[in-house]
Amino acid sequence: MSGHSKWSSIKHKKAATDAKKGQLFTKLARDITMAARQGDPNPDVNAALRLAVLKARAANMPSENIDRAIKKAVGAGEGINLTEVTYEGYGPGGTAVIVQAVTDNRNRTVAEVRFAFSRGGGNLGEAGAVGWQFDPRGLITIDATGKDLDELQMQVIEAGAVDIDISDDSMDVITEPADLHKVREALEAQGITVESAELAPIPKSRVELNEKDSEAALRLFEKLDDLDDVSRVYSNAVISDAILAAAD
């Protein structure tokens, strides 16, 4: 988990440029619109929408962008028919990769994802090819900077975590899917900074990669993340701290 979590942190830092921010906001807006269309447009009663809005706010997305994305779902749809789709494939070193996307054109998106896998040293698989290697879980990433890790672990466990993974100045908190919001709120009530919270496929086992495959895997993740329709990329790859730091 630490490998993917750190890759996510690197990705957020790379999104600091205006161009990357624009692309990120577009992805986040699609997630918000999709969640609002599938349920109530009120984040207080729509858990999926609440998560999407929290993620957008964590990325400093302007409130007017968030409101516009919700309004698009309930009224001004502009003729765009968005669909959520999940792709499964194989990455370098035999790793499993899950790609979640929101698209208005499945044919375009699958072609782009297939090409990214090919260029990144992997292969796009059939539905169900690697999904069995993951469990649906809640994933909360918290800021552990300057914290007493033993004390922090106790707080996290008491809040309802089922697993924990520590990586430098952050901690991944794994929860049962239904407990995600409850645990996040319990952590925030204790003054713990939550960097992100989402429902995610968590690998049942992980594959440690050598330097060559690690670098290839990072290139694949970046190619997939750079696709406009792709919202999230998950993998069971374990990449060393040194290689991740070099990619920062």
Q: What are phi and psi of 190, to 5 degrees?
A: -95, 10
Q: Which domains does the chain have, with CATH numbers?
A: 2-74 (1.10.10.200), 85-124+206-247 (3.30.70.980), 133-203 (3.30.70.980)
Q: What is the mean pLDDT of residues 118-123?
A: 94
Global confidence as pTM: 0.80
Residue 131 has pLDDT above 50, yes or no: yes
Q: What is the mean pLDDT of residues 39-67?
A: 85
Buried b (16+ CB within 10 A) or exposed e, 202-211: bbeebbebee
Q: What percent of the chain has pLDDT over 90?
A: 41
Angle formed by the axes of helices 149-159 and 180-189, to 10°? 130
Residue 219 has pLDDT above 70, yes or no: yes
* Sequence-separated (6 or more) residues with CB below 8 Å from residue 117: 89, 90, 91, 97, 123, 124, 220, 224
Q: Which token pair is 5?
A: 């979590």
Question: What element of type H or E holds 226?
Answer: none
Residue 185 has pLDDT above 60, yes or no: yes
Report pLDDT digits (tens) over 191-210.
888 888 888 899 999 899 99
For the chain, the average pLDDT equals 84
